[in-house]
């Protein structure tokens, strides 16, 4: 695997067109195809489905995008640092969606003042693969909901306990309530793809879907997509109400009788990153002291 192969992969993934990718990279289309084929041979998977009319990413290709981005950024950072003889401090952070990413700016602002050579990067990664990136040292720390521990080398630090809430537009009939029970939830429901949400959330949303007629069911590919449909007034969704991670303009109504989820940060048990300890301290300070 080399940077040429990865640059070809990213160009095709962006344009979903080999001709456009070859023009961007200023190499021939057969050369792009050759690099992609060599990369697929090395990885042992197909990254693209290519027909006479279209090019699409396979599921493996979608999962490989953040890895390719991270490797290319690391290579570029190394070239710049070595070329200028500067000692930049890379800090790779991960999260699942843009709402979680919105928790980083105040912390990164403080870190940048304390560590001028810090070069942070934030990767938004599909739910199942994020912790594997932390475990493999590709991401130094990642935000997420606590799950059954499958990664023995990782530490989870709790930041808050987040109630499952009904999220709706101010125009929705449920918006007038301060709290609602599961039985009181009504109207069209917007579910999120199970690959993008925690098992606890999926179990609750599935229990709602099975009792709704088809015309009241919506399925969104991501939580961002679900909240966009909510903003449009097409229905409501369920998601943990994480402090500081609300989407502006929507109503968050706690649903009584549903389990809360534990939200926090994952990191490597033996990580000796020079800035990680300070990052964790600042993240803890950004949240109220969690319950025991």
262 and 145 Cβ atoms separated by less than 8 Å: yes
Report if pTM > 0.85. no
| Domain match, 168 and 231 both | yes
| Domain match, 43 and 100 both | no
| Domain match, 203 and 247 both | yes
Residue-range definition of the domain harbouring residue 41: 3-64
**Which tens digits make up the pLDDT trace of 110-128?**
999 999 989 999 999 877 7
| E-state strands within the chain | 48-50, 55-57, 89-95, 118-124, 141-145, 154-162, 164-168, 180-181, 189-192, 217-220, 237-240, 251-256, 261-268
255 and 163 Cβ atoms separated by less than 8 Å: yes
Beta-ladder partners of 122: 93
In a domain, 272, yes or no: yes
In a domain, 59, yes or no: yes
| Domain match, 250 and 278 both | no
In a domain, 86, yes or no: no
In a domain, 205, yes or no: yes
Query: The domain that contains 18 carries what CATH number?
Result: 1.10.10.10
**Of the residues 64, 81, 115, the one at which a domain ends:** 64
| Domain match, 177 and 211 both | yes
Strand order in the sheet with 154-162: 118-124, 89-95, 141-145, 261-268, 154-162
Which of 79-93, 149-163, 169-183, 253-267 is least confident? Answer: 79-93
| Domain match, 139 and 226 both | no
Angle between helices 59-84 and 3-15 (to 10 degrees): 130
How much of the chain, in percent, has pLDDT values that exceed 70? 95
| Domain match, 180 and 130 both | no
In a domain, 292, yes or no: no
Q: What is the pLDDT of residue 129?
A: 82
| Domain match, 151 and 237 both | no
In a domain, 250, yes or no: yes
Query: The domain that contains 277 carries what CATH number?
Result: 3.40.190.10
| Domain match, 249 and 278 both | no
pLDDT(82) > 80: no
**Which tens digits make up the pLDDT trace of 153-188?**
899 999 999 999 999 999 999 999 999 999 999 999
In a domain, 69, yes or no: no
Q: Nearest to residue 139, comparing CAs of 267, 284, 10? A: 267
Separation CA 292–CA 7 (nearest Å): 47
**Mean pLDDT along residues 42-51:** 92
| Domain match, 173 and 134 both | no
Q: What is the pLDDT of residue 189?
A: 97
Q: Predicted confidence band at 56 (pLDDT cuts at 50, 70, 90)? A: very high
Domain count, the chain: 3
| Domain match, 147 and 275 both | yes
| Domain match, 272 and 253 both | no
Q: Which residues of 244-274 are buried (b: 16+ CB within 10 A; e: fewer)?
A: ebbbeebbebbbeebebbbbbbbbbeebebe
In a domain, 79, yes or no: no
């Amino acid at each position: 695997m080399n940077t040429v192969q990865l640059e070809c992969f990213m160009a095709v993934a962006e344009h979903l067109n080999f001709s456009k990718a070859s023009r961007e990279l200023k190499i021939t289309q057969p050369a792009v195809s050759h690099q992609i084929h060599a990369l697929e041979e090395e990885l042992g998977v197909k990254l693209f489905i290519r027909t006479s009319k279209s090019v699409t990413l396979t599921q493996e290709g979608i999962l490989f995008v953040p890895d390719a981005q991270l490797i290319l950024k690391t290579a570029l950072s190394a070239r710049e640092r070595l070329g200028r003889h500067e000692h930049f401090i890379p800090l790779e952070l991960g999260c699942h969606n843009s709402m979680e990413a919105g928790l980083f700016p105040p912390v990164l602002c403080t870190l940048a003042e304390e560590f001028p050579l810090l070069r942070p990067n934030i990767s938004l990664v599909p739910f199942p693969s994020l912790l594997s990136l932390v475990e493999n040292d590709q991401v130094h720390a990642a935000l997420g909901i606590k799950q059954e521990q499958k990664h023995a080398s990782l530490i989870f630090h709790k930041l808050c306990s987040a109630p499952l809430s009904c999220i709706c537009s101010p125009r929705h009939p449920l918006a007038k309530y301060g709290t609602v029970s599961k039985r009181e939830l009504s109207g069209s429901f917007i579910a999120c793809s199970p690959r993008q949400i925690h098992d606890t959330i999926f179990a609750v949303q599935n229990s709602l879907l099975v009792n709704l007629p088809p015309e009241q069911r919506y399925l969104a590919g991501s939580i961002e997509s679900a909240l966009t449909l909510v903003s449009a007034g097409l229905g409501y969704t369920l998601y943990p109400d994480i402090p500081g991670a609300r989407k502006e303009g929507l109503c968050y109504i706690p649903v009584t009788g549903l389990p809360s989820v534990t939200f926090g940060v994952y990191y490597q048990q033996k990580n000796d990153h020079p800035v990680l300890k300070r990052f964790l301290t600042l993240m803890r300070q950004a949240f109220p002291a969690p319950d025991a």
